[in-house]
Structure 1
Amino acid sequence: MSGLRYGWTTGACATAATTAAYTALLTGDFPDPVEITLPKDKRPSFALAREALGDGWAMAAIVKDAGDDPDVTHGALITAAIRPGAPGSGVTFQAGPGVGTVTKPGLPLPVGEPAINPVPRRMMTEHVAEVAARHGGTGDVIVEISVEGGEDLARKTWNPRLGILGGLSILGTTGVVVPYSCSAWIDSIRRGIDVARAAGHTHVAACTGSTSEQVATALYGLPDDALLDMGDFAGAVLKYLRRHPIPHLTIVGGIGKLSKLADGHLDLHSARSQVNPALLAVLALEAGATPALAAQVESANTALHALRLCQDADIALGDLIATRARTSALNVLTGSPVSVDVVVIDRSGTIVGRASG
């Protein structure tokens, strides 16, 4: 990964544009460049591409720089338009042109909400509060985020299939785009296994992301060098462990990705594998679901939506997904002395399914 240039998420760009626009609304002047604080204490500065100030409104726009990552939104113009909200209303978000709206359940936002994810919302809200405290504002504002050409860009993503209509999602959990190529990521997985073996670890956890890594740490107390940043590359972990075994592997991941592993997919990226609703319906039937519930599961928008439907009926879909995912992993590991546990979580990190040998 050395030599690759990091970039900034759409959430970071929207936060910077919001900060600049609200500052101008209160003071009459746009900070340019505008500095923001990201999670993990990074403090990048962003140059403004556009700015405008009128009676009771302000607008600032930033061109997204994704660094060396092949990001569909690289070069997109992200705009925040700010106007006062009702007293006591806090920060209200609206989807402007090019930002999608959630139309189906199963996503981390309610139906009808702008597709501005929770962490970017929190970042913008925190920066609005800081600007208000610095310049005597109330912090009651309406924030409208737009992405120029976002509706066309969204057709290159899975947003339409997920029921996010009208544009892109505003994303990012750290604000930073880390430019991993597939080969670099897979190489880092292999090196992680090598390091764990050299340290004498008998238990490693392969995690799909930061939340699953936190769950693995809380469950098992594993040291950092026993945590494998698997991401979407389940096959890379399993195939390398087949040749270089460690006695005990725990796979921890979100229900969407692990339902793909349960279906036999080893590359869990959304561009290369999809959740199979028909499989989830079959698993629900195996767990005692009625045919009517199984039909609802098969038409669910996401694996998380299917899980919620089953939880309401006291059907342990998460455990069955974990069991199937464990079987898929063991099939790859055939002949290698590696035992496998699987832990399935939801977006909040709550364990919703487990399987162990």
Structure 2
Amino acid sequence: MSRDGASGLRHGWTTGACATAATTAAYTALLTGDFPDPVTIDLPGGRHPSFALSREGLDEGGAWAGVVKDAGDDPDVTHGALVSVRVTHGEPGGGVVFRAGEGVGTVTKPGLPLAVGEPAINPMPRQFMREHVAAVAQRHGGSGDVVVEVSIEDGAELARRTWNPRLGILGGLSVLGTTGVVVPYSCSSWIDSIRRGIDVARAAGHEHVAGCTGSTSERTVQELHGLPEDALLDMGDFAGAVLKYLRRHPVPRLTVAGGIGKLAKLADGHLDLHSGRSQVSFDSLAARVAAAGGSPRLVEGVRGANTALDALRQCQAAGLPLGDLVAAGARETALGVLLGAPVAVDVVVIDRAGTIVGRA
């Protein structure tokens, strides 16, 4: 397993890569009676990883193989999950037909890159599997006409911890991956889920979506605007991902909601709000207070505050609306990223209890 040169963290393999390895092993066994173990696959970028099989089987109907996913040092919900594939002969001329086995979801809403009713096996993993089926068929004299059924152990339970239910992917997880490689803490799957959430909201005809930093702000916005669940985007720290995608795929109205600390960072132009990648600037907050007519004592109190919430409390006691000032700054940043896209933006700032403390 390779490591990232900068962080020293181990890369891992996507569910799509694991499913491709299991498909390759199972189809090879279906044609030859023998399972390659470990099984090697070809991925973009000249990578040729090998996967040990954790289960295998062959009967008159087909062959199956399973691979345990190793996500490296990424905190992936599917790390350690068993990804299994059963391959059977398909109709002549049918090519590769994909089916959702136990733990793999089915698409039930439009807006995703798969048709309603299709198994939630994304386009790139499908391409990987088709290419490897063709290569195995060429090596061993097969037709390449097969049914590939992908299963993920405990996938239905794991899916509850993902975006899938909100995206209308029911019954299990999605088989994901564009390169086959999991880069630790790249959060690519989260950002992809934000984009798919916007796609689903647009396909449903929603004209108002909300990007929220967490569950508390999401609850507040839902009560405030009465938005349906599939109009709520679990933005987390990735404000930039929401804004950049809406710039290209606009929705008429966006509400951005979050705590004073996260949105103070957005107001300062940070698009990644994670505590490890951006910090609250108390100098900036103090400058906003000074520009709004705050007393020198209040300005210095904000400059020396322990947290953004501490600064907010000081301003509330002095009757100065710091929450509104932060909301206005965050809205200005958002409009700057949208670059004139037809998206009306409002911002809601909350405290830890979910009380609205600022709006713009």
TM class by shorter chain equals 0.5 to 0.7
Runs of 5+ unmatched residues, structure 2: 1-5, 203-207, 234-245, 257-262, 270-328, 344-360
Q: In structure 2, what residue type is equivalent to 1:134?
A: R
What residue number does 2:338 align with?
Answer: 342
Tell me the residue number matched to 1:175: 180
Cα distance per residue 1:83-121 (max 9 Å; x no partner):
000000000000111111111222221111111111111
| Aligned pair partner of 2:74 in 63, 69, 76 | 69
Q: 1:155 to 1:29 in 2, by over 3 A?
A: same
Contact 2:114–2:120 (8 Å) recurs in 1: yes
Which of 32, 54, 60 matches 2:59? 54
Contact 1:67–1:177, Cα closer than 8 Å, also in 2: yes
C-alpha distance in 1 between matches for 2:93 and 2:215 = 40
SS in 2 for 1:18: helix
Match of 1:25 in 2: 30
Paired residue type of 1:340? G
- Cα separation, 2, equivalents of 1:121 and 1:140: 14
1:136 aligns with 2:132: no
SS class of match (1:17) = helix
Change (3 A) 1:271 1:342: same
Shift of 1:3: 1.5
Tell me how far apart the structure 1 counterparts of residues 37 and 57 of structure 2 sit (CA, whole Å).
13
Name 2:96's counterpart in structure 1.
91
Note the C-alpha offset of 1:343: 6.6
Which stretches of structure 1, 4 residues or more, deviate above 6 A after TM superposition? 269-274, 276-279, 316-319, 335-339
Identity over aligned pairs, percent: 57
Aligned residue-pair number? 254
Give 1:125's aligned residue. 130
Q: Deviation at 1:31?
A: 0.6
TM-score normalized by the length of structure 2: 0.58
Shift of 1:299: 5.6
User: Is residue 34 of structure 1 aligned with residue 65 of structure 2?
Assistant: no
In 2, are the aligned partners of 1:319 and 1:354 still within 8 Å (CA)? no
Alignment of 1:232-247 (within 5 A): none
* Aligned Cα root-mean-square deviation (Å): 4.4
Maintained 8 Å contact 1:15/1:120: yes
Query: 1:69 Cα shift?
Result: 0.7
Query: 1:221-251 CA distances to partner (integer Å, 9 max, x unpaired)?
Result: xxxxxxxxx969xxxxxxxxxxxxxxxxxxx
User: Is the CA contact (8 Å cut-off) linking 2:104 and 2:175 kept in structure 1?
Assistant: yes
Aligned partner of 1:151: which letter? A
Please show how residues 278-357 of structure 1 align to structure 2 within 5 Å. 301=230, 321=251, 332-333=268-269, 334=329, 340-342=336-338
Rg (Cα) greater in structure = 2
Shift of 1:148: 1.0
Q: Which of 143, 159, 166 is equivalent to 2:164?
A: 159
How do 1:264-275 residues align onto structure 2 when only pairs under 5 Å count? 265=211, 267=213
8 Å CA contact 1:341–1:354 kept in 2: the answer is: no
1:46 is displaced (CA, Å) by 0.2
For residue 322 of structure 1, report the CA deviation from its aligned partner. 8.2
Please state whether the residue corresponding to 1:93 is helix, strand or coil: strand
- Segments of 5+ residues of structure 1 without an aligned counterpart are 183-207, 210-229, 233-252, 283-294, 305-315, 345-352
Distance 2:129 2:217 in 1: 32
Give the residue type in structure 2 aligned to 1:342: L
User: Is the 8 Å Cα contact of residues 99 and 147 (structure 1) preserved in structure 2?
Assistant: yes
